[in-house]
Amino acid sequence: MSKGVAITGMGIISAIGNNVPENYDALINGKKGITRVDNIDTIQRDEIMVGEVKFTNDELIAQLNLPPENNYSRTAMLAVIAAKEAFANAEITDIKKHRTGIISGTSVGGMDMTEKYYYEYLTEKPFQKYIESHHAGDSTQKIAEQLGIEESLVTTISTACSSAANAIMLGARLIKSGKLDRVLVGGADCLSKFTINGFKTLMILSDTFNTPFDENRKGLNLGEAAAFLVLESDEVVKVENKKVLAYVKGYGNANDAFHQTASSDNGDGATLAMEKALKVANLKPSEIDYINAHGTATGNNDLSEGRAILRIFGENVPEFSSTKAYTGHTLAAAGAIEAIYSVLALQHNVIFPNLNFKTPMKEFSMVPQTELKQKVLKTVLSNSLGFGGNCSTVIFSKEA
């Protein structure tokens, strides 16, 4: 059970960069991508900050060379850009050579178009093409089309903010069980009025830069992004002499079963998810070198997750940080964004800082890593916690 699954390619587009090198550059230089929202016309503009990809839809259409009659939602366009980079990075040329599938996570799906044309759909023919791009599976299907993946296992997971982490988990299990040889895993979510106003009603949006694990945190910044990783079986890696970037070593999912949106005070779900992931990885807590925390900067999440980390690691919590201060909370994509950041951390032996942190929380003495730090890393643990009590942990490692 403890053998890892090889990661051979990565692709990402987020508020801090349009590809993997740009994201890495921003991470090590402390450049955050949090601004006012530009691409959505919302009355909340002056009350919130977001992590936005600054390309307009027209610019994305041009980048992807899509015909004018295309019905791509913004989620789908972001997804395809990241998926293509991941495939190129994995140097995949012959798609038919191995049994290849896709598992993607999304929560917004095509909601950006639906909210734009909701009533127009009933009468305006030109917009009706987007009706079929509303459902959550659509962006995944678009990736398959663009990459030429046919007659395959292509599916979508939606477990709110843990969706992409769960996609990685399922992908790794499909490879381990021999069901697939190669699988693209990750997630995508664009910003939308739906999520902006939804989180606003929960009163957990910050009106300024989000400050994970800070005593005076005011809430989260929403973000948009897509990120995908290519997982391949040992056989494919061997036959094709693939360069392995890192391994998916362990994973676990559990439900907090406490409240629809809030996490339990003691982080039961997150604790269970981390325990399971450590077990699958066959690692002791002391063997984890860095934790990329979920750390959304809401009062509830950071307290609950912090307590869960303490329950697992006790006195010996390794360096931890949340990268949400860079990207905002990219919802269903977050698990894949942070998977890539975890792999980058392993590759470069570096811990990314938890930006904007000033004051330790009064409930415990844990303090995140606030400066960029060089450290030899063998393993990174990444948490993703979501609505519906959905808690996931994925562990990445340098060695199989």
Partner 1 sequence: MSDLKQELKEKIIEQLNLEEISVADIADDDALFGDGLGLDSIDALELIVMLDKDYGIRLSDPKEGRKIFESVQVMADYIQEHRTK
Partner 2 sequence: MKKVFINSIASISSQKTFDNSVFLNEIIDYNNTVIFAHDPDYKQYIPPAAARRMAKGIKMGVVASKIAMDEAGIETVDAIITGTGMGCMIDSEKFVSAIIDNNEQYLTPTSFIQSTHNTVAGQIALGMECKAYNFTYVHSAISFESALLDAKMQLENDEAEHILVGGVEELGEHTTKVHRTINHIKPEAVTISTVLNSKTEGAVFSEGANFFAVSNEKRESCYAELLAVETYNTLQKERVSETIEYFLEENNLKIDNIDLVVLGNNGDVEFDSYYTQLSEGMFRQTQQVFYKHLVGENNTVSAFGIWLASKIIKIQSIPEILKINSIATSEVKTVLCYNQYRGQNHSLVLLKKC
Q: Which residues are catalytic?
A: 161, 294, 329
For residue 136, give both structure tokens. Answer: 């959550």
Which residues neighbour 112 within 8 Å (Cβ) at sequence distance 6 or greater?
73, 74, 75, 190, 191, 192, 194
By beta-carbon proximity to partner 1, the closer residue of 203 and 376 is: 203
d(CA 59, CA 74): 11
Q: Decide if 200 contacts 48 (C-beta within 8 A).
A: yes
* Binding partner of 122, given partner 1, partner 2, none, CB within 5-8 angstroms per partner class: partner 2
205 sits near partner 2 (criterion: CB under 8 A): no
Per-residue x/- track, 242-281, partner 2 (CB under 8 A): -----------xxxxxxxxx------xx--x---------
Cα angle for residues 219, 269, 325 (degrees, 5° grid): 30
Q: Is the dihedral of CA 110, 111, 117, 118 positive or negative?
A: positive
d(CA 178, CA 232): 11
By beta-carbon proximity to partner 1, the closer residue of 1 and 203 is: 203
d(CA 341, CA 164): 14
Sole binder of partner 2 in the list 197, 266, 300, 349 (CB under 8 A): 197
What is the torsion angle, in degrees rounded to the nearest 10, for the CA atoms of residue 163, residue 168, residue 174 and residue 180?
110
Distance of CA 229 to the CA centre of its chain: 11
Interface segment toward partner 1; rule CB under 8 A; list 24-32, 50-58, 199-207, 301-309: 199-207
Residues 343-372 that bind partner 1 (CB under 8 A): none
Sole binder of partner 1 in the list 197, 261, 266, 347 (CB under 8 A): 261
* Binding partner of 262, given partner 1, partner 2, none, CB within 5-8 angstroms per partner class: partner 1
Q: Is the dihedral of CA 364, 300, 385, 205 positive or negative?
A: negative
18 sits near partner 2 (criterion: CB under 8 A): no
203 sits near partner 1 (criterion: CB under 8 A): yes
**DSSP code per residue over 373-386:** EE---SEEEEEEEE
155 sits near partner 2 (criterion: CB under 8 A): yes
Sole binder of partner 1 in the list 29, 177, 260, 365 (CB under 8 A): 260
Distance of CA 264 to the CA centre of its chain: 22
Q: Decide if 19 contacts 85 (C-beta within 8 A).
A: yes
By beta-carbon proximity to partner 2, the closer residue of 128 and 347 is: 128
* Binding partner of 14, given partner 2, partner 1, none, CB within 5-8 angstroms per partner class: none
d(CA 328, CA 15): 8
CB of 389 to partner 2, least distance (A): 6
Exposure of 337 by Cβ count < 10 A (0-12 exposed, 13-18 middle, 19+ buried)?
A: buried
* Binding partner of 141, given partner 2, partner 1, none, CB within 5-8 angstroms per partner class: partner 2
Sole binder of partner 1 in the list 61, 95, 153, 202 (CB under 8 A): 202
CB of 42 to partner 2, least distance (A): 6
Sole binder of partner 2 in the list 18, 44, 70, 266 (CB under 8 A): 44
Interface segment toward partner 1; rule CB under 8 A; list 195-203, 227-235, 241-249, 390-398: 195-203
151 sits near partner 2 (criterion: CB under 8 A): yes
Q: Tokens 């779900």 sit at which residue? A: 269
* Phi (first) and psi of residue 225, to 5 degrees: -175, 165
298 sits near partner 2 (criterion: CB under 8 A): no
Interface segment toward partner 1; rule CB under 8 A; list 165-173, 258-266, 350-358, 360-368: 258-266
Sole binder of partner 1 in the list 29, 93, 177, 201 (CB under 8 A): 201
Interface segment toward partner 2; rule CB under 8 A; list 171-179, 346-354, 360-368, 370-378: 171-179
Number of residues that bind partner 2 (CB under 8 A): 66
d(CA 369, CA 220): 19
d(CA 195, CA 175): 33
The residues binding partner 2 (CB under 8 A) are 42-44, 102, 106-107, 109, 111, 114-115, 118-119, 121-123, 128, 131-132, 135-137, 140-141, 144, 149-160, 166, 170, 173-174, 177, 179, 193-194, 197-198, 200-202, 253-261, 268-269, 272, 386-390
